[in-house]
Amino acid sequence: MSISVNNLTKIYGSQKAIDAINFSVRTGEIVGFLGPNGAGKSTTMKILTGYMEATSGSAVVNQFDVAKQSMSARASIGYLPEHNPLYLDMYVAEFLQFIGRLYGIKKPLLNERIEEMIEICGLKNERHKQIGQLSKGYRQRVGLAQAFIHQPQVLILDEPTTGLDPNQLVEIRQLITTLGKDKTVLLSTHIMQEVEAICSRVIIINRGRIVADDALQNLRGGDTSLEAVFRALTR
Ligand SMILES: Nc1ncnc2c1ncn2[C@@H]1O[C@H](COP(=O)(O)OP(=O)(O)OP(=O)(O)O)[C@@H](O)[C@H]1O
């Protein structure tokens, strides 16, 4: 298993954001993590990536407990947060250099990785621009490049295509499929087409509880659309 979540609970003040959830993701799977606004997706992802502590329960990523072996777990995860927090006054290559150094990648390997990510993520023409000058789609590309710079085995992507135009949407999906080849990907989205285009399995969370966890084709069954299943389970 690449990701294993056991009775994970997060309480903010008096609000239970996630309530003893359990799920696991096998190596090589691309899993869609769906749920209505406020269901608990980002909270779960923040705990998995070590950005937040759980109130109780545990999570293991790449065999590292995310609370007890936080540094090792983080080193094996690539994370694109929901509000991709890029440094707007940094230049693209400079930013990737900065993130690479945080992961302890040394030159000349770091320079190779930066060139590779710039190439794969289609950032050649933007590399000398400041991040604040880039369109949303290109900022997402930079976000994916930084998430992948250290060649992590697990990618956790929180709404990677929100707010993109239809062309960029298709391009970013292709990029996720390319980067996610032979990796494990957990991806949250509100776009059902996206799940159908790139995910093999779906986990649906509603009000902090898992309400579905199955292969995409099993969930949809016959003529039922994923959207209909989602609506029926999350009302
Ligand atoms: N820092 C916080 N303090 C208090 N409550 C919070 C905090 N972060 C999230 N919550 C609450 O926890 C619940 C789950 O939020 P979360 O952001 O995990 O949902 P989500 O499924 O990612 O939603 P969305 O699809 O809107 O991004 C929500 O009710 C939210 O208001």
Q: Using the mean position of ligand 1's atoms as its centre, give its distance from the Cα of residue 197 in Å.
A: 26
pLDDT tops 80 at residue 81 = yes
Q: Is 38 in the pocket of ligand 1 (CB under 6 A)?
A: yes
What are residue 133's DSSP bridge partners? none
Q: Is 98 near ligand 1, meaning CB less than 6 Å away?
A: no
Pocket flag, ligand 1, residue 113 (CB < 6 Å): no
Radius of gyration, CA atoms only, the chain:
18
Give me the mean pLDDT over the 155-161 stretch.
94
CA–centroid distance, residue 97 to ligand 1 (Å): 32
| Residue 222 pLDDT class (50, 70, 90 cuts) | confident
* Contact 14 CB / ligand 1 (< 6 Å): no
DSSP string, 18-80: EEEEEEEE-TT-EEEEE--TTSSHHHHHHHHTTSS--SEEEEEETTEETTTTHHHHHHTEEEE
For domain 3-76+153-234, the CATH superfamily is: P-loop containing nucleotide triphosphate hydrolases (3.40.50.300)
- Strands in 15-25's sheet, in edge-to-edge order, are 15-25, 3-12, 56-61, 64-65
pTM of the shown model: 0.94
Cβ–ligand 1 contact at 42 (below 6 Å): yes
Ligand 1 centroid distance, CA of 42 (Å): 7
Name residue, tokens 């697990």: 154
CA of 192 to the centre of ligand 1 (A): 21
Complex prediction ipTM: 0.97
| 179 band by pLDDT with thresholds 50, 70 and 90 | confident
* Ligand 1 neighbour 203 (Cβ under 6 A): no
Question: How far is the centre of ligand 1, averaged over its atoms, from the C-alpha of 134 (Å)?
Answer: 28
Which pLDDT tens digit goes with each residue over 92-134? 999 999 999 999 999 999 999 999 999 989 999 999 999 999 9
Dist. CA 155–CA 22, nearest whole Å: 19
Q: Where are the domains of the chain?
A: 3-76+153-234, 86-151
Residue 190, pLDDT score: 93
Residue with CA closest to ligand 1 atom 30: 38
CA 43 / ligand 1 centre spacing (Å): 6
Confidence band (pLDDT; 50, 70, 90) for 78?
A: very high
Supply the pLDDT for residue 85: 81
